[in-house]
Amino acid sequence: MSRELTLRALIAERARATPAHPYLEDARSDRVLDHETLARAVSAWERVFDGLGIAPSGAVLVDLGDPLSFAVVHLAAIATGRRSVPVDPGQPASEVARLGSLIGGASLVVSDREERSALDGVPAARVGRDFGPVHVVRGPVPGSAPDAPGEGSAVLFTSGSTGAPKGVEMPESQLLFVARQVAQHNGLTPSDRGFNSLPLSHVNAEVVGLLATLVAGATLVLDRRFHRTGFWELLAERRVTWLNAVPAILAVLVKTGPLVFPPGLRFVRSASAPLPEPVRAALGDVPLVVSWGMTEGASQIAATPLGAPARPGSVGVPVGSEVQARDEHGNVLPAGDVGSLWVRGEGIVRSYLCGRAAERFDADGWLCTGDLGHVSEDGWVWLVGRADDVINRGGEKVYPAEVEDVLLGDPRVLEAVVVPRPHEVLGSVPVAYVVVRPDCDTDAAVLHAALLERAEAELARFRRPVEVFVVRDLPRASTGKVRRVEVRAMAQGA
């Protein structure tokens, strides 16, 4: 694995050393992107960027649903010193205009939507069969880019649940640092074949999927979305050696079984949200990498080491970073004490785009993650929830994950989410929303009573949900992760 090459040089080296090696494969067709084709396509896009006069750090909005096309344009923008601004293809076409405004002006929109998503007066292009640019429309471009980092980058915007979205800019050097850490931590080699159905508009698939695979010289099979039907058969057919997943996908696989791991599968990686302990236990003996990360950390901050004995509830050890638990005054807490988790390292951003939310960083480069947890004597990290998810019930703190794990113990429950509901005396009380397994025909009233009984048997009184709502589904992000902010809003009127 190369540790010092730039992204442009890495792409060129892969094309020189192993030109025909498959880099990306489409899970639903026989389309393959090998190293030589990638290098040729990146060069072709570079000529277009230069010909349009796109400045260093000029914003290239990557509005592509096809995963192979997305990968080429995304990597080309970063490798040639521009900003890649991924667009979620699941959002309406107006998302392009929103992101263009947030970034301070787009230099190019590359889209494969049937409906128009181009911005008036802004250059546009589409992707050809050889992954090069076609149908290029010229136009004026910004002469310079605000707050430019001096190298290529990816810019993602937070959901902005409390105020305007924050831009997280990850320079090429940060992205490659984390990708190399991921590849090394997971022992990836050119013979590995990963599988990713997570959206490429999110940092996990971009770094853990695309970049770590390129760094390792390995192969990645890309699917546009998760399909439960035929999942294990597809992995076996594609000779997959590792699976990139999130808890929502693993919960579906576990609850709707059977689990038929392909013979060559080395490990399963879980990211994006805490992995509920009942789901982890149900996965059995398959090697599991449980990770913790955030966009600001280019997807990975800590992860469980392959081959290490499981420590239930832990997200592993810091990988290329430092983690501290601090109290409300900023003091570092003793091992095992729960506090606010702060992180620092080469893979962690030092600021938000244009200096927003500067209060989350201290003078020594530490970032407040917003997560609560603790660190053991030997450096393993545990999460107990988000700071804004903790429920204060009359002075007693209720961590939602503790309650959710109990409810998930019922085999009929696919997912459980616990949120606060206002209470005029206690301040707030926990209420639970549970999603039933899709193949489970159960009476909602019977399940409701059983879950309340389970909570009474296994939880202290102050932790028990005062109500359990059985629902078909919950609001979700494109990764499948539940939008807790929206669930909390549901509870306000429940």
Q: According to DSSP H, which parts of 351-483 are helical?
A: 400-407, 444-458
> Residue 231 pLDDT more than 70?
yes
Helices 67-79 and 172-185 sit at what angle, rounded to 10 degrees? 120
Q: What is the pLDDT of residue 494?
A: 64
Element (H, E) at 247: helix 247-256
Looking at per-residue pLDDT, the higher value among 164 and 235 belongs to 235
What is the pLDDT confidence band of residue 164, given thresholds at 50, 70 and 90?
low
SS3 category, 171: strand
Find, among 103, 125, 154, the residue nearest to 45 by Cα.
125
User: Quick check: do 226-386 and 391-492 share a fold?
Assistant: no
Average pLDDT over every residue of 271-288:
88
Tell me which range, 302-316, 335-349, 392-406, 411-425, is most confidently predicted by mean pLDDT.
Answer: 335-349
Average pLDDT over every residue of 272-291:
89
Average pLDDT over every residue of 149-163:
80
> Residue 209 pLDDT more than 70?
yes
> Residue 110 pLDDT more than 60?
yes
Average pLDDT over every residue of 391-418:
90
> Residue 160 pLDDT more than 50?
no
Domain ranges of the chain: 34-156, 226-386, 391-492
Q: What is the pLDDT of residue 464?
A: 94
Average pLDDT over every residue of 288-303:
96
> Residue 3 pLDDT more than 90?
no
What is the pLDDT confidence band of residue 270, given thresholds at 50, 70 and 90?
very high
SS3 category, 185: helix
Q: How far is CA 2 from the centre of its chain?
A: 24
> Residue 163 pLDDT more than 60?
no
Fold (CATH) for 226-386: Rossmann fold (3.40.50)
How many angstroms separate the CA atoms of 56 and 45, rounded?
14
Q: Which CATH number fits domain 34-156: 3.40.50.620, 3.40.50.300, 3.40.605.10, 3.40.50.980?
A: 3.40.50.980
What is the pLDDT confidence band of residue 17, given thresholds at 50, 70 and 90?
very high
Element (H, E) at 134: strand 133-137
How many angstroms separate the CA atoms of 199 and 296, rounded?
17
Which tens digits make up the pLDDT trace of 43-78? 999 999 999 999 999 999 999 999 999 999 999 999
Find, among 82, 98, 67, 92, the residue nearest to 8 by Cα.
82
Q: What is the pLDDT of residue 2?
A: 44
Q: What is the pLDDT of residue 25?
A: 98
Longest alpha-carbon distance in the chain: 69
Looking at the chain, the whole-number percentage of residues with pLDDT higher than 90 is: 77
Which tens digits make up the pLDDT trace of 121-134? 999 999 999 999 99
Cα 138 to Cα 80, 121, 130, 240, 470: the distances in Å are 19, 8, 21, 42, 53
Q: How far is CA 329 from the centre of its chain?
A: 30
Measured at the CA of 231, the angle between CA 243 and CA 111, to 5 degrees, comes to 75
Tell me what the pLDDT averaged over the chain comes to.
Answer: 93
Assign domain 391-492 to its CATH architecture.
Answer: 2-Layer Sandwich (3.30)
Q: What is the pLDDT of residue 162?
A: 46
Cβ 109 vs Cβ 61: under 8 Å: yes
Q: What is the pLDDT of residue 1?
A: 42
What is the pLDDT confidence band of residue 385, given thresholds at 50, 70 and 90?
confident
Q: What is the pLDDT of residue 272?
A: 78
How many angstroms separate the CA atoms of 299 and 178, rounded?
8
- Dihedral (CA of 286, 224, 79, 156) sign: negative
What is the pLDDT confidence band of residue 401, given thresholds at 50, 70 and 90?
confident
Q: What is the pLDDT of residue 257?
A: 81
> Residue 107 pLDDT more than 80?
yes
